[in-house]
Structure 1
Amino acid sequence: MEKKFSFFPGKISVVFRKGPRGYLRQDPSDAAKLLKDNSSLQDKSAPLKEDTVKQNALTVIRQRGGDVSDRTEVLGEYILQFGKYKGKSFRWLLENYVGYTVYLLKHREKEEAAGVCTTEGHKKASLLSFVDYARSFEEIISLLRFQSEKPTSQAASEDNQLVGFGTRAKSTWQELGLMLVVPHQQRDQQLKHLRPQTPDVVSTGVGRPRVIVGTNGQYYIFSSRLRCRTCQRVWFADSPRWLDKLPKRFANMVPAFLTYKKAICKSVLHELRRTGKSPTDMAKQVNELMHLKYEQAHLSYLHSIQNIWDAEAGAYGQKTLSHLVRKDVMPQSFGSYDDADGWCGVSVSAHYLTDCLIDEYQRQQSAITLLMQGTFGQVLRSDHTRKVARKVTLSSGTMSSYAVMNENWMISSWVMVQSEAEKSLEPMYQGLAKRYSDAGVEKANYHWVDRDCCAAFRIPDLHHGEHLNWDAWKTTDSIIAEATAGTLENTCASRTQYNANIVLDLFHCMRRFTRECTSEHHPLFSTFCQLLSAAFSVVDQGDLQKLKDAYQFCGIQPPTPNKTAHPRAL
């Protein structure tokens, strides 16, 4: 037998991975999977030039005794300069991952058809060389031809064609017709199969950023882009409909109140409720804050430019060389507040704050109702005061403030009134009574008031600006006669909403006695008040002992060293 002589004993050919039927396997090999899934094993170095790659390939072929004149063999030793398999030879990629090779070839065909190329520099040269190398194999060309000529499944008739539009776009006309004629039970069963039975939600990246306006400025929230593998629907994680499906303990963790187009930080709503400002005033405050942030950033930008100019002029002891490499002398404009390519500032309207506040209340109504139950009580105490009203501008017409407290000294309601008439308090008591009814709590049985406890008396309606007239505050015989004669208009407002026992408050009862005194500077006025208090009140010995123990624990001896103690106080 004659022995065949080979001039190039080191010549290596590509060995494709094939399946049992002889077709090329397009799945990655174990070595390709390991390199694909582990980024630490991938080559992160800078790409090499085409000439350097060629010289390295020729050196490898000469060392193993290959044919340097065979262009295909030389290209097989080229090293990839792009992708996850950077650092591997062209031949290695064909032998280990034909599917990735086909993907690169198809992607290059699309770029050639469009006349563009997404890669540049040395990566582009390496990609073009690999495409040329892969197209030199008949196996790859046959695989591409087979995939391009693969017959598509067409509908056998018009009934089997897809609808192509609407909610039943993926259903055939035959299925749509059956849904119209089958009985209701079968139709419901068929509709049930069209819905996803086992939803499989996965994240497909990061969605659009949301700018959030808060009391300290603005910030951004990035939400995931979710997709259901079963029904193929796509939505964003910050969608209000999606957030409503989450448990309350998770939904409350979101720091902002999100709507479909805008978003507002919850700190703005908290500040709006805490300060009691109107939505218009709060919107002005937030917008002024946002513009202040813009002005501060603009000022910092101008200072940075001035520092660069000073450094170039040698103001800091040594001139810089930045002016030699800069083409334009004038710096770029910072832009306006609402510039889309610059600061892109946002504005908040009063209508949007109102909608957010109402929507937030509707969402938290059940929790607020439970929270407000802590301010309920069976004994109410109300009082008028002008100390707070004096701080309000007189042009508002406010005469006094009115507070209602329970037996635990917690304020149940507080309003500002412009008239001393009790009918001005009826809306407040209506709301307070509705709060009891909505919560299912029994209404108060006793109500301590500062006036109108026994007989009603009449106070005419306040004329505009009358409270500014000093004579309107004087009490004369004619005013008393007018208030106690004729049709009595002023009755206690709580009588219409509560079946409570209206009782005069103890302190206001004693006040009726003390204000009839001639002068508060009389030498016996203090003694009279002490005896009056002792006549109305009874000292609880248990509370008194606790008070003494507290004084002794704190080291207060005696409790009031500069005053004479009341004989019944100790």
Structure 2
Amino acid sequence: MYFVASEYLACRRCKRKVISWSHGLFSQLDIGHRVQFPCILTSKLACDFEVASLMRQRGLGNSSSQIQRKLQERHAEVWMQKTVQYLQDCKGIASAVTSGLILPMPFDPAPAMPPVPKHRWLMQVYAQDVLRRLDEIKATITSHGRILKMDSTKKVARKLAGKSYGTATSATNVGNEHGRVIMSVLTASEGYGLSPMVEGLINRYRMAGVAPPEVLYVDRDFCGNTLLRRMFEEWNNMTIRLDIWHFMRRFAVGCSTDSTAMPLL
């Protein structure tokens, strides 16, 4: 439980009261004081950072509803322990009254368990947590890499609808060793019109002051003085290699025929 001493700001029209705390005010503090703040405040409730951190790794089995049910169960266990302890203390005092050691005194009933906020409120807290870490998230998304992988697919282009339908037949993506897609482009055909993307990728590394990548894995055009190698001529120390997935496909084609299939490894 947290107690915050602050003034309330009330709207003259709707009479709604809002606590005088916001991300803009919080971000003005230095980093030493910001890390000491233990919770995320909303209009009426506060959420501990330990609960907010559970929302960062959400998946199919870890949704906001699932987290809310876990919090409900945990709060019920703690409330039950506190209630049993309170009733046990009341029993001891009642025994002392019966023995005549102390004067009779009334006992208040055990307090009811406060309701746990719904999953929609948890999503609101998660949005504020993302806003608080926005600079860090941007730095992570726009990260570079020492190992890049460039691959083209037609499945993304087939999902285009409306006026953009039929304008592109291939989507080329560039990712790093952390599994993040750092650049993506739609082209009229596979391997065609990639020069602007390559120039933008090189300028991105140059403007960030980051060393060029060491290896680039591709699905084609990796042998000899290909067009792709000439587009990356500024990164002359970068090695271009065939990625393992396409290597295994070509290996399987070369080692198996229609009459003799390659045994499973």
Higher share of residues assigned strand: 2
Correspondence for 2:149 among 375, 380, 384: 380
Equivalent position of 2:136 in the other structure: 367
Does the CA contact (< 8 Å) of 1:379 and 1:446 recur in 2? yes
| Pairing 1:347–2:116 present | yes
Amino acid at match of 2:92: N
Q: Give 1:287's aligned residue.
A: 72
5 Å-filtered alignment, 1:96-245, equals 219-223=1-5, 239-240=21-22, 243-244=25-26
**Between structures 1 and 2, the one with greater helix share:** 1
Structure number with greater CO (CA < 8 Å, separation at least 6) is: 2
**TM-superposition CA deviations, 1:163-214 (whole Å, max 9, x none):** xxxxxxxxxxxxxxxxxxxxxxxxxxxxxxxxxxxxxxxxxxxxxxxxxxxx
- In structure 2, relative to structure 1, the CA distance for the partners of 1:358 and 1:511 (3 Å cut) is farther
Q: Is the aligned partner of 1:321 residue 2:101?
A: yes
Distance change (3 Å), C-alpha of 1:375 and 1:221: farther
Contact 2:68 2:118 in 1 (8 A): yes
Amino acid at match of 1:282: I
Match of 1:406 in 2: 176
> Aligned-pair distance for 1:346?
4.4
Instruction: Indicate if the aligned counterparts of 2:58 and 2:64 stay in contact, CA closer than 8 A.
Output: no
How big is the shift at 1:246?
1.9
- Give yes or no for the alignment of 1:332 onto 2:117: no
Partner residue of 1:505 out of 219, 244, 264: 244
* Residue number in structure 2 paired with 1:274: 57
Cα separation, 2, equivalents of 1:519 and 1:359: 51
CA distance in 1, matches of 2:251, 2:100: 82
CA distance in 1, matches of 2:82, 2:109: 13
Contact 2:144 2:205 in 1 (8 A): no
For the aligned residue pairs, the C-alpha RMSD in angstroms reads 4.5
Superimposed CA distance per residue, residues 352-401 of structure 1 (whole angstroms, 9 cap, x where no aligned partner)? 2212222332342222111334464551289xxxxxxxxxxxxxxxxxxx
Matched, 1:256 2:256: no
Secondary structure of the corresponding residue to residue 368 of structure 1: helix
Given that 1:376 and 1:412 are in contact with CA atoms closer than 8 Å, whether structure 2 keeps it comes out as no
- Report the Cα offset of residue 326 of structure 1: 0.3
Once residues 293 and 256 of structure 1 are traced to their aligned partners in structure 2, the CA distance between those partners, rounded to angstroms, is 20
CA deviation after TM superposition for structure 1 residue 297, in Å: 0.9
For residues 263 and 355 of structure 1, the distance between their equivalents in structure 2, rounded to whole angstroms, comes to 11
What 5-or-longer segments of structure 1 have no aligned partner?
1-218, 227-235, 314-318, 338-344, 383-403, 414-432, 455-498, 521-570
Is 1:279–1:350's contact at 8 Å kept on the other side of the alignment? yes
CA distance in 1, matches of 2:116, 2:264: 60
Structure 1 SS opposite 2:40: strand
Letter in 2 for 1:332: D
TM-score using structure 1 length: 0.27
**Secondary structure in 1 aligned to 2:5?**
strand
Q: Deviations over 1:490-534 (max 9, x none)?
A: xxxxxxxxx9x89441763587378854476xxxxxxxxxxxxxx
Report if the CA contact (8 A) 2:40-2:128 is conserved.
Answer: no
Please give the alpha-carbon distance, in whole angstroms, between the structure 2 residues aligned to 1:305 and 1:297: 12
Matches within 5 A, 1:18-57: none
Q: Which AA in structure 2 matches 1:355?
A: Q
Q: What residue is the counterpart of 1:357 in the other structure?
A: 126
Q: CA deviation at 1:273?
A: 0.8
Q: Within 1, Cα distance between the matches of 2:119 and 2:144?
A: 30
The residue type paired with residue 505 of structure 1 is I
Distance of aligned partners of 1:287 and 1:223 in 2 relative to their CA distance in 1, 3 Å threshold? same
Structure of greater Rg: 1
Q: Within 1, Cα distance between the matches of 2:2 and 2:38?
A: 11
Distance 1:312 1:510 in 2: 88
Secondary structure, counterpart of 1:239 in structure 2: coil
Distance 1:270 1:290 in 2: 18
Residue 37 of structure 2 aligns to a residue whose secondary structure is coil
- C-alpha spacing 1:374/1:514, structure 2 compared with 1 (3 Å): farther
